[in-house]
Structure 1
Amino acid sequence: MDTLKREMLSQRVRIVKPSGIRKFFDIINTMPQVISLGVGEPDFVTPEHIRQAGIDSIQKGHTRYTSNYGMLELRQEIAALLERRYGLSYDPATQILVTVGVSEGVDLAMRTLIDPGDEVISPDPGYVAYEADIIFSGGVSVPVPTYAEHNFAVRAAEIEAAITPRTKMILLGNPNNPTGAVIPRAELEGIARLAIEHDLIVAVDEVYSRLVYDTEHVCIAALPGMQERTLILDGFSKAYAMTGWRVGYVAAPAYILEAMLKVHQYTIMCAGTAAQEAAIEALRHGEADVQHMHDDYERRGRMFVDGLNRLGLTCCEPHGAFYAFPYVGNTGMSDEEFAEKLLFEEYVAVVPGSSFGAAGKGYVRAAYCTAYDQLEEALVRIERFVKKHQ
């Protein structure tokens, strides 16, 4: 792009790098023989009864706008879910907003609460959209590195060291994408104390919260004094295999939610009506589906992570989500070189860890949400690749 054209773009847009995930996704689309471990999308189809609820919505002619907040019926089901899971009470009329996926929820959180120069602390590695959304809001992203020796779980002491007078928010992904880390209760309690002491907002992306294995998932909003300063961002994409339906939600204090609605109503209006009715069905009758997919991901992950460690690609046990995050630095290749060569030589797609932040350098993210036999074949190809380059 020549200088004149580049200068026509806003400075914020120029600063943000294109997604490293999408770069590989675009390449993969041209290579049908590839085993894709690159994109975090369930290989399950949305369960039939949920699909049928969306079809029924259309066939009944439910094709008009809903409330900007989303369908009240759906918000009531979300409130009931949060009560069941965390013992938290939210008013469906004023404290829950239906969004177009969790991605919109993160964007709304930044644009509603962050002024130019405000700092947002977030663990590194972290989901690629976090830093971009902070920058788009005019904020300053403050990454806090996490480490394999702590299973990539962010620690309160490291967050405390990053707090300055300009800090406004702590943004967490729990469980974490790309590492699969789940933040232990003790660390969340420490983070909660910091948020209260420094009068900070906490936004927590819980889209993988139903996919937690062999450990406890704690919602920071349920800790003492935290509901009034926490935004819960969650949705249906991962647990219910509903990525393409684009339905999420925010649960937050009413004064924050009312402000978020200003941005939402002028940019989105409302989530799709058929998708919202499908989400109602998911919450009412989808629990068995969630458990089935959870158990299958756990089985795949155990096999795949064990296989990576056997190959000498050291990998922490992911306690949540469906990602393995092995270290590839001992191959003599950078994470970007490893990912590119593995793709073109063995037709296996992974994403360089550095796409998720500086602390991801030397690692790659491999999504094990594809079929078990495909994961087994991927391990065969990765083993051949590693031996070739030793």
Structure 2
Amino acid sequence: MREIPGAWRRTLAGAGLMADDGTTRPTIFAEMSALAAETGAINLGQGFPDEDGPAAVLEAAREAISAGANQYPPGRGLPDLREAISEHQTRFYGLHPDPDTEVLVTAGATEGLAAALLALIDGPDDEVVVFEPYYDSYAACVALAGGRLVTVPLQWPDFQPDLDELRGAVNDRTRVILVNDPHNPTGAVFSAEVRAEVVRLAEEHDAIIVTDEVYEHLAFDGPHVPIATLPGAWERTLTLSSGGKTFSTTGWKIGWATGPAPLVDAVLAVKQFLTYVNGAPFQPATAVGLRLPDEFFRGIADTLRAKRDLLGDGLLRAGFEVSTPAGTYFTVADAAALGAEDADAFCRELPVRAGVVAIPLTAFVTPEHRARYRTLVRFAACKRVDVIEDAASRLSALR
């Protein structure tokens, strides 16, 4: 059998899916979801909702299918969705991207990220700075693009970076500073000081800022602040987001990129050879979602905040130390007080011990920083209230 080509070996290795003997492994999500199915455990590992999104958005998709919106949409995305994305950026953040040149519809934010890194990285001397722990596709996409991943560790319990470590990571080889805010997997929202320092460093070293803002409407302690709104940031910032988390439609994979035309064009140049286009009937439905009233957006944050608190209380009662997240679906807890010495082993035992599945935070870090996070575990609160209550009751058996 032929050996796996080099680019794909780099991608698998970057994602931690290449074993020492050259064989491939499933992702931690696939492993834990299979374990949940095998044991009948409640799956608080993978971050997808178990409730449908707003009825108006779902009905708009049905209407679009019935009306025949089932063929290729335009390469940049349907004009109405691009208009809605531009309106959304203006309405919430005071940004004014041109829907014809500064907005691009993508197959979820993940494709936007992959296309951006493939477009912007020019070889192994180009570095991409990310905050660690990081969403697992980041390392894989950097590896696929042939760049070098440079990580800045986030610190328990608030998961803010040390600014000196950030300054030490960014240099003239830095091509991209990749910022996920609100942050998956930790639930952190970065401080104003962190955002300002990212912009300052990008200007100093002529780097491009790529932001992943898919949890933008799930910030709990105040409105989300995109880096692109900071003075001097727009010209060098590519902002990625999607409708999946906001409208509980993660399977639709409707995302977008906004930013100055040259950056958006670079993403388009690659994207057209990846998916080309996607999700024709889901694009007008997402446009309907983006135009929902302000009460909807406040409501989804309020609802998830209540679920966060319910999950956090249950984890505290079970004996975990808890980092209260400022956003996203996720809560990180320290299992050390429950005797855990290794989060991976703890999570593999948890379905049998308590009937609950979680994800070890060590799945989102580089090997050299694993010790910093060795007993930390991530739980997802994007489930029905009765499911969270059941999980909290089961976890109480750990005491």
When normalised by structure 2's length, the TM-score is 0.91
* 1:246 positional shift: 0.8
**CA distance, structure 2, for counterparts of residue 34 and residue 311 of structure 1:** 17
The answer to whether the Cα contact below 8 Å between 2:211 and 2:240 also exists between their aligned partners in 1 is: yes
Query: Which residue identity lines up with residue 374 of structure 2 in the other structure?
Result: K
The answer to whether the Cα contact below 8 Å between 1:240 and 1:286 also exists between their aligned partners in 2 is: no
Q: Secondary structure at the match of 1:271?
A: coil
The answer to whether the Cα contact below 8 Å between 2:322 and 2:333 also exists between their aligned partners in 1 is: yes
**Residue 140, structure 1, aligned to residue 153, structure 2:** no
1:11 match? 9
1:181 match? 188
**Residue 351, structure 1, aligned to residue 349, structure 2:** no
Give the direction of change, closer, same or farther, for the CA distance of 1:61–1:351 in structure 2 (3 Å limit). same
Residues 112-153 of structure 1: CA distance to partner in whole angstroms, max 9, x if unpaired?
Answer: 10122111111111111111111111111111111114x102
Structure-to-structure mapping, 1:259-338, within 5 angstroms: 259-285=266-292, 287-333=294-340, 334-338=342-346
1:368 match? 381
**CA distance, structure 1, for counterparts of residue 325 and residue 351 of structure 2:** 23
- Matched residues, number: 381
Give the direction of change, closer, same or farther, for the CA distance of 1:148–1:14 in structure 2 (3 Å limit). closer
**CA distance, structure 1, for counterparts of residue 64 and residue 386 of structure 2:** 36
Q: Which of 329-338 and 365-374 deviates more? A: 329-338
* 1:328 positional shift: 1.2
**Residue 206, structure 1, aligned to residue 219, structure 2:** no
**CA distance, structure 2, for counterparts of residue 132 and residue 238 of structure 1:** 22
Residues 266-321 of structure 1: CA distance to partner in whole angstroms, max 9, x if unpaired?
Answer: 22111211010111111123644433332111111112213323433111110000
**CA distance, structure 2, for counterparts of residue 361 and residue 134 of structure 1:** 24
**CA distance, structure 2, for counterparts of residue 322 and residue 25 of structure 1:** 17
* 1:105 positional shift: 1.0
2:43 match? 36
Q: 391, 394, 397: which one pairs with 1:378?
A: 391
Residues 188-216 of structure 1: CA distance to partner in whole angstroms, max 9, x if unpaired?
Answer: 11221111111111111100010011234
Query: Which residue identity lines up with residue 70 of structure 1 in the other structure?
Result: G
The answer to whether the Cα contact below 8 Å between 2:318 and 2:397 also exists between their aligned partners in 1 is: no
Q: Which of 46-55 and 201-210 deviates more? A: 46-55
Residues 206-260 of structure 1: CA distance to partner in whole angstroms, max 9, x if unpaired?
Answer: 0001001123421111000000101110010111111111100000211111121
When normalised by structure 1's length, the TM-score is 0.93
Q: Secondary structure at the match of 2:178?
A: strand
2:33 match? 25
Residues 23-71 of structure 1: CA distance to partner in whole angstroms, max 9, x if unpaired?
Answer: 212332444x321101111222022211111111111112221111001
2:23 match? none
Q: Unaligned regions of 5+ residues in structure 2, if any?
A: 18-26
**Residue 124, structure 1, aligned to residue 132, structure 2:** yes
Residues 319-376 of structure 1: CA distance to partner in whole angstroms, max 9, x if unpaired?
Answer: 0002110011333321011111111232201001101113433211100111222222
Query: Which residue identity lines up with residue 88 of structure 1 in the other structure?
Result: L
Q: 339, 342, 350: which one pairs with 2:347?
A: 339
**CA distance, structure 1, for counterparts of residue 279 and residue 12 of structure 2:** 31
1:190 match? 197
Give the direction of change, closer, same or farther, for the CA distance of 1:360–1:286 in structure 2 (3 Å limit). farther
Query: Which residue identity lines up with residue 41 of structure 2 in the other structure?
Result: V
Structure-to-structure mapping, 1:80-119, within 5 angstroms: 80-117=87-124, 118-119=126-127
Q: Secondary structure at the match of 1:370?
A: coil
The answer to whether the Cα contact below 8 Å between 2:112 and 2:271 also exists between their aligned partners in 1 is: no
Query: Which residue identity lines up with residue 106 of structure 2 in the other structure?
Result: T
**CA distance, structure 2, for counterparts of residue 66 and residue 165 of structure 1:** 40
**CA distance, structure 2, for counterparts of residue 211 and residue 159 of structure 1:** 25
Q: CA RMSD in A?
A: 1.7
Give the direction of change, closer, same or farther, for the CA distance of 1:14–1:58 in structure 2 (3 Å limit). closer
* 1:94 positional shift: 0.6
2:67 match? 60
**CA distance, structure 2, for counterparts of residue 8 and residue 137 of structure 1:** 14
**CA distance, structure 2, for counterparts of residue 379 and residue 368 of structure 1:** 11
Query: Which residue identity lines up with residue 55 of structure 1 in the other structure?
Result: R
